[in-house]
Every structure is written in C-alpha cells, then in structure tokens.
Structure 1
C-alpha cells in the first residue's frame, strides 16, 4: 500500500514533529521575535477545501490509469514551498488539475498525451511533488489540466557494475534507488533535503543539487544518457562517458522542467560505497574568515564531499543570536584510500585563517552524526517539517539561494543581507532575521543560501510572505547573481529568470519547444512562453 503524503505540507500524513521538538522551537522563536506566544491555526482537512468540478471526461480506455477524486486532485495542486502551505492553510485551491494520470509504461504516457491533445488540455509532469517554485502548479489561464504522475514507473531496470552505472526509471524516489542497490557494491549518493519525497526524473528536470558540496554538485554530473517522451515522439540519447559531438542533447533535457516532455528513464553514474571517511568541524571568528578558508580548500583541488560554511547561530543549538562565529562542516569520503592527507591539508588551510578544528575519530563511522556536524545534520533533515508549524503560527520562515564569484561575495552578501532585513521591517513592521550559509562551493565561488525569518500579520500573511521573498529573489539577479542555484525556475522564478537569461537563448529554446511540443501543451509558463 502506498504511504499517503500530506496534501498541504511536506512529508507523510503519518508523521509529524513531536511535542519535544515543537516546544523549544516555539520558545526560541517567541524570544527571538519578542512575542508572548502564538495563535495556532489548525491544519486543513481535505473536506474543508472546495475544488471546482473536473472539466474533462475521462474516456473509458484511460479510466484505469486516470483519477479525478477529490484527494488525488488536491494532492497534485501545489508543491511544497512556504507559499504553498500558506495557501493550503487558507483553504484556497482555485486551480486544481482536472485529472491525474498514473501511467505504468511509456505507451500509457503516449495515450495520455494523445488524449490531452484531442481535448486541448495542458499536461503537467509530476514526480514527487516537492517543487518549491510553482513548477507543478496549474495556472488560472489553463482551460483543462491533466497532471501526469510518474509514480508507477519507479524501477531500476539494469545495473552495469563494470562501468558503474544504472538504467533507472524517472518515477523512482531517492530512498528506493539506494534500497535497490543495497546488494551491490554501488551507490548513487545524490542526497538533498527533498530526497525522501522526490524522484530521479524530477532531479533531472530541475537540475537538482545533491549533498556533495564540491565536484559532483548537481544531477548533471551523474547523468550518462536520458530518454524523454515528447508530444513529437521519443528522444533518447546515446549512452557515453563523454562526447564532443556538438551541443549535448542531454543538456537540453537537464533543467527542461517538463516543457519539452516527460523523462521516463536515464542511465546514471554510480560509485563504490565509501569505506573511508574523515570529518571535522572548524570554528571561525566570523563568516568571511571562514569563507576565505573555504576558498582556499576549493582552489587547492581537495574536493571534500562536505564543505558547508554555516553561521553558528543558524546551525548550532544554544548559540546567542548576536554571535558572529561561523562553523565549517568538513568531510571527505572514499571507497579506495585513507583520507588523512586530504583532511590534514584542509585543516592546515583552515588554521591559516584562524580556524579551530574539532576533528572526529577517524575510526568512528558515525562521526558525521555527532558534534557540530551532527547538530547541523539533524536540523537540516528535520527543517522541512517545521514549515507547516511556522505557517500555523504566522511565522515568516523561508529561504532563497543564489551563487556568486569569490571576489564579489563580501559586497554581494552585505547588499542582499541588508535588502532582506530592510524588506522584512518594511513589510511586517518588525525586525526580522537573516542568516547565510554555503551549501555548494566551487573554485570560482560559492552557492549562498539565505534563511530569513520574522513575524507576519496572519490576516495578510501570504501577501507579506510573497512580497519579502520576491523582493529578496529579484535582488539576487539585480546584483549579479543567479535567481536559483538548485531550486529550479518554475513559475515563481520565471520573472527573475527572464531578466537573467539572454533573450536570444530564449528564442532558441522556444524553437526547441516548437519542434518537440508543437501545440505548447507541456507545462506552459515555465522557463519560456511557447
């Protein structure tokens, strides 16, 4: 039996935070934002939300794989961003899909797309539903909408242990990949915060960023070949370790966000399961001192698996909010060789910048779960579950991420931080908070991941939330960064992406869409207008 997800927030319906997690979190935020307590809005129930009737009639030949019931349509209406949860708590779902298809093979996808074509419906591909950018959300302008869920196309079809790769269907969830590889020496190890509730096809379509902080940062680095069903036919690329034969067709599939077709399977690179690990946490007097150490590590070509620089007040329990320290979570892993030399050199670089290390026992396989690294890891894993509780209490809590080259990081960080603080004060009338961390780092710059918070007026909470988030996001582009490093474009980032993307490239992308999706039925409004 399929485990039911929450339709209104992150995670599964049978899980939630415990009282022991909620109480100290509430107390911490009440003190931080100087409020006596919180009025808690109950989570919505399906029957409290009215959906318009389906505007399509499912033909008898498709009724076994197409559903139009209330809960299924509700579950596929929004993603899992903070603004999605706000709207669910408002019991407002004005534009649900009319039907949801669950194809079991490629021929089913073709049949569903032919049906969409015949009735003039838009088709929205759906993986795990973890989008935080309105990537799977029907627009009000759509007359008819069929969401196509890849839930049943979730198998590993082949494993090539010689070349260390696997052919995997697009609808498989992250944990199922590792479960299927459990009896092999191989692993994919592409983890992200949405790992449990997202799919391989979704990762490829949105160019997801995984847990590797260096070298293998995006799903791009794992893809060997792809297969996509488009309204014009099947597009399958040749499986190769590399090729210089013209522009890569896989690069057109990667990041296509459902506007060209549905990713049904891919060959992805695997690696041997790591047997050697070395981890440490390093304290720095402030964030920019730590940033210089991180730059030194990345430019030394050491390629740690984890190299995340965090503001201590964001990452560690019990740190006063006025504390300016930063902590670097550092880890190396290998299936081939000990890592002492790599860690030693990285810590030397940290020491050159005043970093004080707390290195783990090299023989402790669970060292990454303890100390500063463990505290951050636990907060990171549990963080999405707090989203619905923040909304229920009128707490402003969200993030945005971008990237910048090293020489511009201090100025860029200062400007974006100030804009965020000023915007929260202007919109809410209260002081808010903003912190930053590096999630991925490159020799030429980091991904800066900002977290902001404050208190909203519940009566206009969604409006205030969107104004803060939009203002901060557009600022990242106006000051030279990217609108997103790994969260995809979707419909939320689309206005900012339009400012970032060269117009001539947009015209070329429209040309590709005309060839693969002649009638413009696939996920309109994402990336480009047809």
Structure 2
C-alpha cells in the first residue's frame, strides 16, 4: 500500500504506484466460515450439558452462559403460553450427505482460456468449493443446505487477484456465453449470488483474494481499494494510515467492499458518514462491452450520474474490481450510550426532534419493546446491561417514573469525531432525550452493544438447530407511515400464524435515520413444519413485503433485491424504469451472462410463465 501525506502533490498519477504482485494465501475465506450457517466456524451458540443452559462459544471464550435466552425462546414461541418444556433437535446434514449436480462441460475454448488467465490454485472445481458458492446466508439458503436441497451449483469457482484477470475473464465468458456471478463475502440474504440458470456453464467469481488497499491519499482523504477486501481487514489496513471508511453493516465481519457497493449497503454509523453511495468516489467495472471507469473528483454536474448505474446493480451489469472511497480520520472520541424510553413513540419523538435540530449523533438505534426484551434475554449473566436493568432500576422506573414495563424501549446512541464536537453534539442530544422521558444507562450498554452487535445471526443458527426459524425484513419508511406500518406488520404476522395453530414472534428496531424517514428493521420467528421446508418462511416473507409496499416503504433499505425481492420491483418502481434497466442490461450485457435473473423480474416472470 502506498500512503501519501498532506504535503504530497496529488496532481501526478505517477505518484500512485499500485501493487503489481499479490502474495498467495494458504487458506481462502470460504474455507474458514460455516457452509450451512453464519460466520466463524469457531463461534456458535449451543446448550451446556447436563444443565441444558444456552451458552455462546467464541474464539476467545468457551461456553459463556446466556441464562435467559432459552426461557425467552420457549416462552415467546408459543400460543397462549402453552409451549414446549424443552428444545427440539433438528440437526443439519453433513457435507458428505450433500449431493451436488455434476458440473457441466465448459463450452468451446473457455476451459483453455481459464487455464491461460489463471494459475491452477485460482481455479477450484472440488465439491466443497462449489457447495460453498451456491447460496448466500438467507433463511431459505440455509434451510436448503441443511436438508440437502441443492438443485444447481456453479460449475467452477475462480479466485482472481487483479483487475486485469477479471477483465480477461469477463470477455472470455462473453465470447463463450458463460454465466459469471460475483461472490464477495457470501453474506447476501436475498438470493443475489445464487445460480438460477440451469442450462449454461456457470462461474462463481470469488473476489476475496482481491483484498488490498492500493493507496491512501491523506490530502484528498481518499483511498483506492480492491473490492474483495473484508470489512475487518479494510479497517485494519486503513487505520495504519490514520483513516477509516466508517462503514459498519451487521455483516461487517463477513462481507466485502464489493458486496457493499453492489447492494447499496448501509452501516451502523450512516447518520454521520452516509451510506455506501455517499462514500464512493469512483470505481472500475468489467463488463462484456469493456471496462467502465469514472473520473475521480469532488463532484461533477456533467450529465447523468453514471456511478449510480452500477451501484446497487448486484453484478447484473458487470464486475466491480477497484473503488476509490472517501475516508476520514480515525475518530478522536467514540462514545456510545444506552437509554430507556417509556415507549416506542417517545423514542421516535426524540429522534424526530434530533433530526430537525440538525445536531445529529453518529448512530441512533431504537428497539421496540419486544426487541428490547430480546436484547436483555440474550446477554451474558454478568453483562453490563443486565446489571443496570436490575430489580432496583425496574422499581424506580415503574413506581417513580411511571414506566409501563411492558412498553419500555431501549435505544443505543453513539457519537464520534473530535472530542469538542462530540461533547457539543452529545449535550444538545441529551437535552432532547431528557425532554422525551429518556432514562440514561451510561456507556456500559453501548460497550455491550459494540461487543455483541454481530451476534444475532448466531441465534438464528441455534434456532435452526432446534426446529425453529427466524428471518428479517427491512425498509425505508416515512415518519408519517412509520407507526402504522410497525403496528400492522406486527399484528398481521402473529395473526397469520396463530390462525394456523403455529407459534409466531416478531420485533422491530430503527437502525438508520434520515430527515424524512427511517430504516425500520423487522425480525420474525416461528416453528418449522414437519417437512422442514420453506413454506412457513415464504408465507411470512410475502406477507411482510406486501405490508411494506402497502405503506409506501422501500422494498429494501440495504439488503438489496436479488431474486427474492424481484417480484415486488415492478410495483416499487414504475414499469418505465423497469424497461430502462432492461435496455441498459441489453446494451452492456447482450448475452445476459452477468448474474442473470436478479434485480428485476424477467418479462416471462411478469407474465407468470416462469417460477
């Protein structure tokens, strides 16, 4: 990596000496993470024997008890309080049990061209490589893997190490009519990386060896980065130069810069630093019609904003390889606080007042009463939040502050930047919070949140191991529609399953805020049926998406579209915009080799002729 300090001229491109050699890695990322679950193979939630207590094991802690979680699960996933007394077991199949379809033969000269472009260790055709590049990490993906429902798989996995290699591969694939699907961290939960076309030879392009920060410019506060870099590696490399990107989505540990750009990702600190499109200056994209590049600069009003043609396109128009991103100094101060509000409405009122004041924290997360209870139930026995939320505090809030303890709402609010700026913003926000009935818990809940904020998917894995499932739906909704959407979604979801005699539970939180609305993020759970298949989940997902559309919400705030949300796109945007996208696709990718059948419904799907 080349670093340029504030005295270095930025006018000469000769100053920017990019990497030309790429050290080989002994183990690739796909070999380090769970093939049928979320995240690190060394981190999981399980039960301790013989006590049956639920615990979490991590690379640094073994069997740390979560004493309230089991009771919470058994109590909440019931009907009228009549539930099971213990957890059922529903183990996954093993890798050996999974049967993959045989790979197709590469057409024409494509196999020879692959060998000419890549070294042998960059081309993987073994079972485990193909298996780990079929799906992302949605509930539908994990259920299918766990029961062995694998109908399609990439024929080969390729791990490029440079822009030039990707460029050559895309052109070769175009000539041979071979499908290419970019694969970043594999954390996508809307089917964006799954092979759907079962007729053509398919390449899964695993970008994770393209993981270098090529240069950092401390005068312009930009950095050029290969897009296969994982979140923690990116921040670690940038911190060596005293800068940070500040993009921290829930998938941060197991997602890539390229995935963030391809799906219009958003991070926890977006209130201060913006979403990924705000951070991106320019990038290179390899397409069947050649490489598309953008100029670097502060801003341009020269016609269409071509950046946004590619951002969010999910690999359907080409493969992003390198990006120039805005960076900022590593914050001098970073302070995160916990607050309890009398109700969800009180917290939203405080949020709106902060947004109108234009003195805005780095992050505001507001958990509704049900997710507040989940937050407390999933903490270790000696966690900081548990200590604060003691019997004495409960009595004080209930009898002195007149809180209805069934409606209490937890909020985590963070401040980052120069110390004087943090102190100023913090004081102004604390005044607004106090006026809306907030009870301060100090920094301990913020510290606990920072330590545990990536753990929720591990709870999902635990539920799948015990005959239950949990999924999510998120949207951007206006302040006017926020409460009506929240109320209807929660009521309709529970009623839908209870009418069938099936337990159901749902909660929500606000994760990102804007002047005209918020990201409202639902988490919903139920019991699996006897066949262990997807029908219960699909019904819940459709119900949630229909309610979101009814209230004018976006079909996705930050998860993307893939194929799971594609059926709603014709309702979310007008048909004219669907046609514009199709024309762009036909021009850039005339043979439809770039991640086909994602993002927009096909004409056949709109007419009901394709499943």
TM-score range, shorter chain: over 0.9
Q: Which residue of 1 aligns with 2:145?
A: 88
CA displacement at 1:449 relative to structure 2: 0.6
CA displacement at 1:422 relative to structure 2: 1.8
Q: Describe the shift of the 1:425–1:140 C-alpha distance in structure 2 as closer, same or farther (beyond 3 A).
A: farther
Distance (whole Å) between structure 1 residues aligned to residue 568 and residue 473 of structure 2? 13
Cα displacement string for residues 33-87 of structure 1 (whole angstroms, at most 9, x for unaligned residues): 2212222222332111000110023624424232211000000000011111111
**1:26 matches 2:83:** no
**1:519 matches 2:591:** yes
Q: Which residue of 2 aligns with 1:500?
A: 572
8 Å CA contact 1:122–1:142 kept in 2: the answer is: no
Distance (whole Å) between structure 2 residues aligned to residue 198 and residue 11 of structure 1? 10
Gap regions ≥5 residues in structure 2: 1-25, 49-54, 57-64, 78-82, 378-385, 395-403, 604-611
Q: Which residue of 2 aligns with 1:237?
A: 294
8 Å CA contact 2:179–2:201 kept in 1: the answer is: yes
8 Å CA contact 1:313–1:323 kept in 2: the answer is: no
**1:108 matches 2:152:** no
**1:421 matches 2:494:** yes
Distance (whole Å) between structure 2 residues aligned to residue 286 and residue 213 of structure 1? 24
Q: Which runs of structure 2 are paired with 1:390-409 in the superposition (5 Å)?
A: 390-409=463-482
- State the TM-score, normalizing by the size of structure 2: 0.81
Q: Which residue of 2 aligns with 1:178?
A: 235
Q: Greater CA deviation, 451-460 or 244-253?
A: 451-460
CA displacement at 1:202 relative to structure 2: 0.8
- What's the secondary structure of 1:17's corresponding residue? strand
8 Å CA contact 1:5–1:12 kept in 2: the answer is: yes
Distance (whole Å) between structure 1 residues aligned to residue 290 and residue 420 of structure 2? 46
Distance (whole Å) between structure 2 residues aligned to residue 142 and residue 470 of structure 1? 28
Q: Greater CA deviation, 398-407 or 136-145?
A: 136-145
**1:167 matches 2:224:** yes
Distance (whole Å) between structure 2 residues aligned to residue 250 and residue 73 of structure 1? 32
Distance (whole Å) between structure 2 residues aligned to residue 236 and residue 110 of structure 1? 12
Q: Which runs of structure 2 are paired with 1:62-461 in the superposition (5 Å)?
A: 62-63=114-115, 64=120, 65-311=122-368, 312-317=372-377, 323-335=406-418, 337-358=420-441, 360=442, 367=443, 370-371=444-445, 373-427=446-500, 429-461=501-533
Distance (whole Å) between structure 2 residues aligned to residue 336 and residue 512 of structure 1? 47
Gap regions ≥5 residues in structure 1: 361-366
Q: Which residue of 1 aligns with 2:541?
A: 469
Q: Describe the shift of the 1:341–1:75 C-alpha distance in structure 2 as closer, same or farther (beyond 3 A).
A: same
CA displacement at 1:308 relative to structure 2: 0.8
Cα displacement string for residues 104-140 of structure 1 (whole angstroms, at most 9, x for unaligned residues): 2233223322343344322111111111000000115
- What's the secondary structure of 2:129's corresponding residue? helix
8 Å CA contact 2:45–2:462 kept in 1: the answer is: no
Aligned Cα root-mean-square deviation (Å): 2.1
8 Å CA contact 1:290–1:353 kept in 2: the answer is: yes
CA displacement at 1:102 relative to structure 2: 1.4
CA displacement at 1:505 relative to structure 2: 1.1
Q: Describe the shift of the 1:336–1:377 C-alpha distance in structure 2 as closer, same or farther (beyond 3 A).
A: closer
- State the TM-score, normalizing by the size of structure 1: 0.93
CA displacement at 1:461 relative to structure 2: 4.2
- What's the secondary structure of 1:337's corresponding residue? helix
Q: Considering only CA atoms, is the larger Rg found in Structure 1 or Structure 2?
A: 2
8 Å CA contact 2:354–2:429 kept in 1: the answer is: yes
In structure 2, which of residues 13, 27, 38 is the aligned counterpart of residue 10 of structure 1? 38
Distance (whole Å) between structure 2 residues aligned to residue 524 and residue 145 of structure 1? 11
Question: After the TM superposition, which parts of structure 1 deviate over 4 Å for at least 4 consecutive aligned residues?
Answer: 318-322
- What's the secondary structure of 2:34's corresponding residue? coil
Q: Which residue of 2 aligns with 1:364?
A: none
Distance (whole Å) between structure 1 residues aligned to residue 86 and residue 405 of structure 2? 22
8 Å CA contact 1:211–1:217 kept in 2: the answer is: no
Distance (whole Å) between structure 2 residues aligned to residue 277 and residue 100 of structure 1? 41
8 Å CA contact 1:100–1:148 kept in 2: the answer is: yes
CA displacement at 1:141 relative to structure 2: 4.3
